[in-house]
Chains A and B, each alone.
Chain A
Amino acid sequence: MAQPTIWEQILDTANRANPYPYYEELRKTPVTRLPDGSYLVSTYAEIAALLHDPRVSSDITRNPAAAAAGAAATGEDGDGDGAGMTPTFLSMDPPDHDKFRRITMRHFGPPTTPGRVAGMEERMAEIVTDLVDDMADRGRIDVVDDLAYPLPVTVICELLGVPPGDEQRFRVWVDVALQSTDPGLDPETQQKKRVEAGKELRAFMQELVDTHRRAPGNDLLSAMATDDGPEGRMPDEQLVSTGLLLLIAGHETTVNLISNGALTLLRHPAELQRLRDDPGLAIPMVEELLRYEPPVHFIPFRTALDDIEIAGTTIPAGASLTLVLAAGNRDPAHVTDPGLFIPDRRNNQHLGFGGGVHLCFGAPLARLEAQIALTQFATRLENPRLVSDPPPYRPSPFLRGPSHLPIDIDGVLAPGQEN
């Protein structure tokens, strides 16, 4: 049996808890060709350049690796699409990407709806307060199940207009769909699982769209289902896939951000104490987390539309590219002391949300949720201690985060009683 390649080691679930030494190895060759003819890019400057390079396509239908994986209609951000799913702006190129992103943005953010996310701050704080209150009489909690998951899922459901009880329904299918994005699985199994989960999710979302169209509320799905902006409305099948994208990408990644954040703080007690003393530190700290322990480790399935010379290598036209964000984030050529967690790092430019026209749609939501959740985590939990380090991880190498994060606490301070 041949020595596993660095990439195989990164994908290996055994290395999920700490892939960073492999990323360091990977960066020694900024652009690496894999045996299947696809390319990995692992250094900051090169990733940043390719994110702004119009010769790089996000159109999944043009990607040979996606085709080989039977993922021709799968968005790269784990949106859980099944085969035959209408693509979303995530896997489109301009001008279509720009148009459908604008149509979706119309109800979510600037220029048309600028106050929506900032206006959710109080509600987010209320949700977090309730979640932490519920930990009060328990010696052991699970940061994932008790905080990192329920906050973003509640927020995205309220934002979209998904009824609270429905979370039970879609969670099962989402888990299946996300497992199917694990490159460790064989393509046939991936495909089968995706089709099953995709069907269920589509039916679920179509039902929601229909309901909201009949009786619109003050939520995103209602707006998208009923409002005709200057550029028109999305076709229904695209509305369904976009709704699913927002629902799933809108919380799965944030779960990882919050649980990675809690884990990192527990591993850095001095920084945890600093955050207790100065909750404002949460603002730059979340940026540092996005750099140091990003929720999305790489962007797969980009395609070179022409020969691209970069870092001394020519990526041939037609090749599939994977941008290894988590490796670029710790590139010593970009950032000093890349392996150190420095919550107030200045001028922190990172790849945590990607970049260029595809920069994460929900980034402001994720930032605010993580800032609020981690602030209360630091200020209200008494004497939190890791039960096991490392914790168990979810299988996905690209949406990377703990599956559970059990910690012991001595109690919970009431809101306003901190310090």
Chain B
Amino acid sequence: MRLVVDLTKCQGYAQCAFLAPDVFTIQGDEALTYDPDPDEAQRTRIRRAAAACPVQAIRLDQLEEPRSPRPPIEAPGTAAAGGGNGGMFKRSGRIVIVGTSLTGLRAAERLREEGFTGSLTLIGEETHEPYDRPPLSKQVLTGTVRSDDTSLPRRRTIDADWRLGVAATGLDLAARQVHLADGNRIGFDKLLIATGVRARSWPNAAEAALAGVLTLRTREDAATLRQLLAARPRRVLVIGAGFIGCEVASVCRELGLPVTVAEAGPAPLGAALGSVIGAIAGELQIENGVDLRCGVRVVSLEGDAGGQLRRARLSDGTTLDVDIAVAALGTVRNGDWLAGSGLASGVWGVACDAGCRAFDANGLVTDDVFVAGDVSRAPQPMFGYQFLAVEHWGNAISQAEVAAHNMVSGETERWPHLAVPKFWSVQFGTEIKSVGVPSVADQVAIVQGAVASRRFLAVYGYKGRIVAAVAFNQNKWLDFYEPLIEQAASFPPSFHHVDEPADAQPVQAGFQPAASPTQDATVVVTGHYPNERRARLTDRRLP
């Protein structure tokens, strides 16, 4: 049977691990891992676990449930869209969703929940039905869960035309058609773009082709990496200490494998948490036996005659004998297929308004093209109206729901997507959880707990207001900080509370100044009169 836990909600109460201990496991204080496709014999225990969850974070597959099919939810306000063309569209319109991962699936379910009865087509490049990715860098790599057993549970039937294993290759906005790799063209009245991201490959193509050099994003990636890890490599090299890199390193240590992490920046997780808190994540690595090298780049990867990776040369002058190199270099947004479509799509993803409506290249908002999930970039009113791409699991769901709602709602019924971004990571038995956007901060202060015990809470500030909070094994307190972010409460916090640390003075958070991803967009504007003026994106990437 399939299940998924919304680990964004999970506060580590462990009720599930008490009641269904063969399915749910707590590591350390509060980090939950689980089997997403447990044996049917566990059903009673799993139902107990799901019912007991204090934050109701466990979702079972409703299609597998023997009883009580859920009636469609009529969301408040949607009835108003029943008038005029909106009502007609909701009954018999055509919606195409490109992307069949978490966002695409959730949007499809939500459209049906909203009462959309028209035709629904889901197009996905991968051959699999929607699956969950977080287990791929954790339970799958340790070997406790098979990569194929990560399919997402379904909340309801969606009665869709699935086109799996075929990529979308183009979009003709004028003709309202999506072009597919197999030559087919699918017409739509409204379109949702949810093509997500892919892993950034090791830039040297010859080296990237060596056996043992890989990235981690898909089921296949995870299956391959698991197989290689199970063969007990001499050493694993992880290139890049973002979340994927850190989690892979954590699994290696759990498996007792020697691992080196090479991070070009000053600390692990520097881009997400800043170098001050990142340095604490670095201490976790070192304590757990990781050979962590910050400020170090991988100069080259070398293979043997058979094309198998054997060595890595590092910028610190050392050479490592390694059998596996995991390039954990971040992601590339899957917007290539939209080139020339007239949408504002580029390396920064697809820009959209707060209601998930895509912008065209002129900066005009479209009416019928929506975008959600990792590929999107939307303004965040809470964070200075910056356009932010939020590649978090919870965001994929909340944005999908808003996009789906807006696709079938009249203008006055639309919702803005204003969810506070949240993410989590489990590494070295420690749960790291964040609410808000740490990376916009200038300062950080440890406000609860103690760094030495790896149980603490850090609050991030930007120009005197709170913009984020990050917990290491203290995530039950984050519910308190989220409203402080929403209300722009003053930073540093000055109130008295439990577990005050000896030194709560703010320090510079240590984010490296990042170039705006849109600054390299090359746009040509043509035309003289206002009715002629048009912007066009051109592809002038450096060779």
Q: A54 to B480, Cβ gap below 8 A?
A: yes
Q: Is A136 interfacial (CB-CB < 8 Å)?
A: no
- Which one, A284, A344, A356, A368, contacts B19 given CB within 8 A? A368
What's the nearest-Cβ distance from chain B to residue A48, in Å? 8
Interface size on A, residues (CB 8 A): 45
A349 to B15, CA, bound (A): 13
Q: Among B20-28, B82-90, B190-198, which stretch is in contact with chain A?
A: B20-28
Which residue of chain B lies nearest to A349 when distances are taken between CB atoms in the complex?
Answer: B56
Q: Is B528 interfacial (CB-CB < 8 Å)?
A: no
Q: Among B41-49, B127-135, B241-249, B369-377, which stretch is in contact with chain A?
A: B41-49
Q: A95 to B480, Cβ gap below 8 A?
A: no
Q: A347 to B56, Cβ gap below 8 A?
A: yes
Q: Is B476 interfacial (CB-CB < 8 Å)?
A: yes
Contacts of B531 in A (CB 8 A): none
B442-481 contact mask (Cβ, 8 Å, vs A): 1 or 0? 0000001110010100000000000000000000110110
A126 to B477, CA, bound (A): 40
Contacts of A94 in B (CB 8 A): 448-449, 498-499
Q: Is B207 interfacial (CB-CB < 8 Å)?
A: no
Q: B56 to A348, Cβ gap below 8 A?
A: yes
B residues neighboring A (CB under 8 Å): 13-15, 17-21, 25-29, 44-45, 47-48, 51-52, 54-56, 67-68, 448-450, 453, 455, 476-477, 479-480, 483, 495-499
What's the nearest-Cβ distance from chain B to residue A257, in Å? 13
A348 to B51, CA, bound (A): 8
Q: Is A316 interfacial (CB-CB < 8 Å)?
A: no
A118 to B25, CA, bound (A): 13
What's the nearest-Cβ distance from chain A to residue B4, in Å? 15
A355 to B477, CA, bound (A): 11
Interface residues of A in 316-365 (CB under 8 A from B): 317, 344, 347-349, 353, 355-357, 359, 363-364
Q: B497 to A349, Cβ gap below 8 A?
A: no
Which residue of chain B lies nearest to A288 when distances are taken between CB atoms in the complex?
Answer: B51
Q: A363 to B52, Cβ gap below 8 A?
A: yes
Q: Is A305 interfacial (CB-CB < 8 Å)?
A: yes
A357 to B476, CA, bound (A): 7
A95 to B457, CA, bound (A): 12
What's the nearest-Cβ distance from chain B to residue A403, in Å? 28
Contacts of A57 in B (CB 8 A): 498
Q: Is A280 interfacial (CB-CB < 8 Å)?
A: yes
Q: B455 to A95, Cβ gap below 8 A?
A: yes
Interface residues of A in 30-60 (CB under 8 A from B): 48-49, 52-57, 59
Q: Is A182 interfacial (CB-CB < 8 Å)?
A: no
Q: What is the total of A-B residue contacts with beta carbons within 8 Å? A: 113
Given contacts A357-B476, A367-B48, contact A110 B499 (CB under 8 A): no
Q: Is A109 interfacial (CB-CB < 8 Å)?
A: yes
Given contacts A353-B54, A367-B48, contact A95 B496 (CB under 8 A): no
- Which one, A115, A278, A368, contacts B21 given CB within 8 A? A115
Contacts of A286 in B (CB 8 A): 51
Given contacts A95-B499, A98-B455, contact A114 B48 (CB under 8 A): no
Q: B496 to A55, Cβ gap below 8 A?
A: yes
Contacts of B56 in A (CB 8 A): 347-349
Contacts of A367 in B (CB 8 A): 15, 19, 48, 52
Contacts of B67 in A (CB 8 A): 278
Contacts of A348 in B (CB 8 A): 51, 56
Q: A54 to B448, Cβ gap below 8 A?
A: yes
A357 to B11, CA, bound (A): 10
Q: A54 to B497, Cβ gap below 8 A?
A: yes
Which residue of chain B lies nearest to A346 when distances are taken between CB atoms in the complex?
Answer: B70
Contacts of A56 in B (CB 8 A): 498
Which residue of chain B lies nearest to A102 when distances are taken between CB atoms in the complex?
Answer: B29
Which 6 residue pairs of A and B lie closest in terms of their CB atoms, listed nearest first?
A: A364-B18, A54-B497, A110-B26, A110-B17, A114-B21, A93-B498
Contacts of B21 in A (CB 8 A): 110, 114-115, 118
What's the nearest-Cβ distance from chain B to residue A31, in Å? 16
Q: B14 to A110, Cβ gap below 8 A?
A: yes
- A347-B56, A364-B18 given; 4 more Cβ-contact pairs under 8 Å: A55-B497, A95-B453, A111-B26, A306-B496
Q: A114 to B17, Cβ gap below 8 A?
A: yes
What's the nearest-Cβ distance from chain B to residue A94, in Å? 4
Given contacts A52-B480, A54-B477, contact A364 B52 (CB under 8 A): yes
Q: A114 to B51, Cβ gap below 8 A?
A: no
A356 to B496, CA, bound (A): 18
Q: Is A234 interfacial (CB-CB < 8 Å)?
A: no
A371 to B19, CA, bound (A): 12
